[in-house]
Amino acid sequence: MKSTDSRPLAILSAPGSRGDVNPMIAVGRELKAIGYDVAISLAAPYTAIAQAAGLDPYALIDQEQFDQVMADPAVWKPVRGMAKVLRGVAAHFLLPHFDLIRSLHRPGRTVLVSHPLDFASRVYRDLDPSTPLVDVHLSPVMLRTPSEPARLTPWRLEPTANRYTFSLAYWLGDAVVLDRLLGGSINRLRRSHGLPAIRRILDHWWLSPDRVLAMYPAWFAPATQTLLPQLRHVGFPLDDGSDLPVAAPANRPIVFTGGTANQHSREFFTRAANVCHDLGRAGLLLSGHPECFPKSLPAGVQTLGYVPLGKLLPECSAIVHHGGVGTTSQSLRCGIPQVVRPMAFDQFDNAARVERLGCGIWLRKDRELANALERVLGDPNFAVSAGQVAQRFGGPAAARLAASEVDAVRTVRTAPV
C-alpha cells in the first residue's frame, strides 16, 4: 500500500460474491474520497473491481478456492449451504485476514470495517480495543429480533418464528451447528493471542461494540430500530459496481436471475424461457455463467451477462430472482413486481419481507412459476404497492452515510485523551 503513515487507514473485508463485494467497495470509495487509504480483502475474481474504484485489494481467497465453493450445488441448500460457506469461506478467511490487519495496522489511525463472514476483525478488536470496528450488515437476517423473527428456512413451521421457542431455537442452533462450525478456528486464534475461548459466537460476541451499520432502511426491518444502541440504519447501498451504459430492452421483458455466483441455474432458465413462450411475454435471462443458458431459446427470450440492475429494471415488467438483498433492493427501488425463489442464506427472509410489503410473492416451487407470474402481472395491486415503496427511496447515498459513520467512530475512538 502506497501512502504516508499519517493518513487514516480503513481495512475492509468482503469475503463473498459480487452482491457482498459491491457495497463494501462503494463504502471504500467514499472513504477514499474523504482522505482515507483503503485496503480491502476479498476473493480473487473481484480484485479488478476494487482496483478500478481506487482501493488496494488483497485476494485472500484465490480463484480455485472460490470456484470450488461456488461449483458445489450444496451451497444453494438451506442448511448445507450455510455450513459450506461458514466452513469453506469464513474459516479459511480468518487467519489470512487477521495477518493482513496486523501487517497494515497504523496505531491510532486504523479502523476495521467488516463483512459478517469476517471474524478476524472481531478477534482483533478484542486484542486491541483501541482499534475501532464497524460491522456492515447487508440484510436484517443477521440480527436476532424476537418481536419480528427473521425467516431462516423455507419450512412453514420454523422454531424461531414462535416467540415462546425463539430463544431456545437460537440456543440450539448455536450449540449444535454454529459453534461447531466456527468455534474451533476462532478459539484457536484467540488462545494463540492470550484471549479466552468464547461460546455462542453468533449470539452477541460477533457484533461490534463500536458500531453496526444496517445497510437497509428502517422501514424494511422495523424491529431492528431499537435492538442495539450502536446500530445505525444507512439505507440500501444500491451500488451495482458498474458505470457501463445499458441498452433499453425491447418489449418490457420479464427478467430472470439466479444470482451472480450461481452456477446451477440451467434448469431454472430452461423453465423460465418456456414460461415466457407460453405466456407470450419477452424474457431476459441474466447470468455471468453462459453454460447455464439453454442451448436454444424461443423468440423473444434473450440472455445477458452481468448488468447493473438499477439501469435495466425500469425498462422491465417484472423480475424473478433468488432473493439476494442487492437484487431485492434494486427491484424495490425500480418499483416493479417481484417473484422471489429463495434458496439459502438471507434469501428466505428477504422473500418474506417483499411479500409483506405487497411488492411480490414467494415462489416455493418452480413448477408454479407460470401461475406466479400471471398473478403478479395480472393483479394491479402488486404494481401499486411496488410504486408506493419506490417512492420511499431517495436522500443521501447509503455508502456516503456509511463512510461518515466509519469516520465518526474512528475519530472518536482514536482521539487523544
**Residue ranges of domains in the chain:** 9-237+396-414, 254-390
CATH of 254-390, one of 3.40.50.2000, 2.60.40.350, 3.20.20.70, 3.50.50.60: 3.40.50.2000
User: How far apart (Å, rounded) are the C-alpha atoms in residues 281 and 40?
Assistant: 42
Which of 133, 137, 138 has its CA nearest to residue 112? 133
Residue 47 grid cell: 480484485
> Which of 97-101, 201-205, 240-244, 342-346 is predicted with the least confidence, judged by mean pLDDT?
240-244
At 415 the pLDDT is 58
**For residue 333, is pLDDT > 90?**
yes
Q: What type of residue is 225?
A: Q
User: How far apart (Å, rounded) are the C-alpha atoms in residues 390 and 42?
Assistant: 32
List, for residues 352-363, the tens digit of each pLDDT value: 999 999 999 999
Give the pTM.
0.93
Residue 41 grid cell: 480483502
Mean model confidence pLDDT for the chain: 91
Residue 365 grid cell: 416451487
Q: How many CA atoms lie within 13 A of 122 on its CB side?
A: 24
Which of 46, 68, 67 has its CA nearest to residue 57? 46
Q: Are 255 and 284 in contact (CB under 8 A)?
A: yes
Highest mean pLDDT pick, 18-22, 111-115, 149-153, 391-395: 111-115
**For residue 26, is pLDDT > 80?**
yes
DSSP β-bridge partners for residue 232? 213
List, for residues 193-209, the tens digit of each pLDDT value: 999 999 999 998 999 99
Residue 61 grid cell: 481467497
Residue 331 grid cell: 427491484
Q: Rg of the chain's alpha carbons, rounded to an integer?
A: 21
Identical fold between 9-237+396-414 and 254-390 = yes
Q: What share of the chain is helix, strand, coil (3-state, %, to 5)?
A: 50, 15, 40
Backbone angles phi, psi at 298, to 5 degrees: -70, 160
User: How far apart (Å, rounded) are the C-alpha atoms in residues 252 and 47?
Assistant: 34
Domain 9-237+396-414 sits in CATH at 3.40.50.2000
Longest dimension (CA), the chain: 70
Look-up of cell digits 445477458: 304
Q: Are 300 and 254 in contact (CB under 8 A)?
A: no
% of the chain surpassing 90 pLDDT: 74
Q: What type of residue is 68?
A: Q
Confidence of residue 417 (pLDDT cuts 50, 70, 90): very low
Q: Are 406 and 31 in contact (CB under 8 A)?
A: yes
Q: Are 41 and 67 in contact (CB under 8 A)?
A: no
**For residue 413, is pLDDT > 80?**
no
As to burial, measured by CB atoms within 10 angstroms (0-12 exposed, 13-18 middle, 19+ buried), residue 77 is middle
